[in-house]
Amino acid sequence: MAMSRPSPTPPQEGEEGLSHDCKELLSSLPTTNGGRFTHLYQYEGFWYNQQFLLGIIACQRHFQAHDSDLLLATTPKSGTTWLKALAFAITNRARYPFPQHPLLTNNPHKLVPYLEMNLYYGNSTPDPERIRSLGLFSTHMPYTSLPQSIKDSNCKVVYLCRNPGDVFISFWHFSNNLKVPETQSPISLEDAFDLFCAGISMYGPFWDHVLGYWKESKERPEKVMFLKYEDLKREPVAPVKRLAEFLGCPFTPQEDREGMLHDILKLCSFENLSNLEVNKIGKTRHGNNDPYEVEHKHLFRRGEVGDSLNYLTTQMIERLDQIMEEKLQGYDLTFQVSV
Ligand code: A3P
């Protein structure tokens, strides 16, 4: 798929209500055809559709983090839904008995909204009281683009990442299942892969996103916790214990004896969440006038490690492995699609 050159952007649908400086900013940014999302903007080194980008800019301008806030950060399709469920269950465990738990009747994204994709979506102005009542937020924003108050405060950030092959395949399925107004036809695996390898994906380049949080977790481990989906899948007990400690609510010896951690793991498991009515038939829009309707069932596909090996050719796997090796060279971090 051909990339368009950075060029002045024609007005997009929904630009009418925007301030002059927002319109000017949008028209100054490089744009490209992102496949299913035909019009992506490059802002501070990463690619976004217009509504998410406007949400980021609004959030950068207006969100004031408090020291007690907790932020869950991911690239799309890295296990965000799982992390939200876990963090919500851990931090609210004293409030809700398991049989009446909100996770049984609410999709995790409703309980832990995205800053830029829900609260500030498309330049929305969220109710400050709602913001303050939440305290637990999520984002796909890269570290460098986070609002300054998040970086400057003692607010903690948990980053979950995942093997790029599985992220890519998960997003390919997900985006082809989205009802996207601008294009009805699905994107082929090959075209989507070429774009991903060129760094063009929603919130991509993938490797820059991961590296931003990785570096910060090394420099400020008390501020940023770095987790891998694969580690959580392999053996969740130790990482989830560490997660509870990091979030400031470690499991007590009594909770250990009573199996609290195991109850949380069971509540948040793929098997449990994906079989709940709310996640089988529910639907969500990111914000008012959001053209993309997400059917919750598409947030729970297979939930396995290495599924990309069922889709990518040997050449594709080698190409992605090589890109990751080059991009992560010099950092104590590895990702291999070929496992
Ligand atoms: P697959 O498409 O590989 O199945 P996100 O939540 O960031 O959108 O990521 C979605 C991916 O996480 C999907 O991966 C989905 O199946 C998987 N997932 C969702 N809930 C999960 C859970 N509770 N445990 C493990 N994986 C989960």
Q: From ligand 1's centre to the CA of 301, what distance in Å?
A: 7
Lowest mean pLDDT among 34-38, 246-250, 264-268, 296-300: 34-38
d(CA 83, CA 73): 9
CA-closest candidate to residue 246, choices 43, 56, 87: 87
Q: Is residue 199 part of a domain?
A: yes
Q: Is residue 219 part of a domain?
A: yes
Please give the C-alpha separations between residue 47 and each of 31, 32, 182, 318, in angstroms, as whole numbers: 8, 9, 17, 24
d(CA 247, CA 225): 10
Residue nearest ligand 1's atom 9 by CA:
77
Q: Is residue 74 part of a domain?
A: yes
Segment 52-97, tens digit of pLDDT: 999 999 999 999 999 999 999 999 999 999 999 999 999 999 999 9
Q: Is 175 in the pocket of ligand 1 (CB under 6 A)?
A: no
Q: Is residue 119 part of a domain?
A: yes
Q: Is residue 108 part of a domain?
A: yes
Segment 12-47, tens digit of pLDDT: 545 666 788 888 999 999 999 998 888 999 999 999
DSSP 8-state code for residue 114: B
Q: Is 230 in the pocket of ligand 1 (CB under 6 A)?
A: no
Looking at beta carbons, which pairs linking 15-18 to residues 24 or more positions away fall under 8 Å? 15/50, 17/123, 18/54, 18/123
Residue 319: give the domain boundaries.
26-327
Q: Is 311 in the pocket of ligand 1 (CB under 6 A)?
A: no
Segment 147-160, tens digit of pLDDT: 999 999 999 999 99
Residue nearest ligand 1's atom 25 by CA:
303
What does the pLDDT average to over 296-301?
97
Q: From ligand 1's centre to the CA of 8, what distance in Å?
A: 37
Q: Which of 167, 174, 270 to mutate to test the pocket of ligand 1 (most atoms within 8 A of CB)?
A: 270
Please give the C-alpha separations between residue 31 and each of 34, 102, 191, 196, 203, in angstroms, as whole numbers: 9, 40, 18, 15, 13
Q: Of all atoms in ligand 1, which is nearest to the CA of residue 84?
A: 6
Q: Is residue 338 part of a domain?
A: no
Q: Is 81 in the pocket of ligand 1 (CB under 6 A)?
A: yes
Looking at the chain, the whole-number percentage of residues with pLDDT higher than 90 is: 84
Residues marked as catalytic = 140
One-letter amino acid identity for 162?
R
Lowest mean pLDDT among 5-9, 180-184, 282-286, 311-315: 5-9
Q: Is 273 in the pocket of ligand 1 (CB under 6 A)?
A: yes
Q: Is 305 in the pocket of ligand 1 (CB under 6 A)?
A: no
Q: From ligand 1's centre to the CA of 55, what distance in Å?
A: 24
Segment 94-124, tens digit of pLDDT: 999 999 999 999 999 999 999 999 999 998 8
Lowest mean pLDDT among 55-59, 217-221, 335-339: 335-339
Q: Is 303 in the pocket of ligand 1 (CB under 6 A)?
A: yes
Q: From ligand 1's centre to the CA of 75, what distance in Å?
A: 12
Q: Is residue 235 part of a domain?
A: yes
d(CA 333, CA 87): 24
Number of domains in the chain: 1
Q: Which residues pair with 208 in a beta bridge?
A: none
Segment 185-209, tens digit of pLDDT: 899 999 999 999 999 999 999 999 9
CATH code where residue 86 lies: 3.40.50.300
Residue nearest ligand 1's atom 12 by CA:
79
Q: Is residue 130 part of a domain?
A: yes
DSSP 8-state code for residue 308: G
pTM of the model: 0.94
What does the pLDDT average to over 256-278?
97
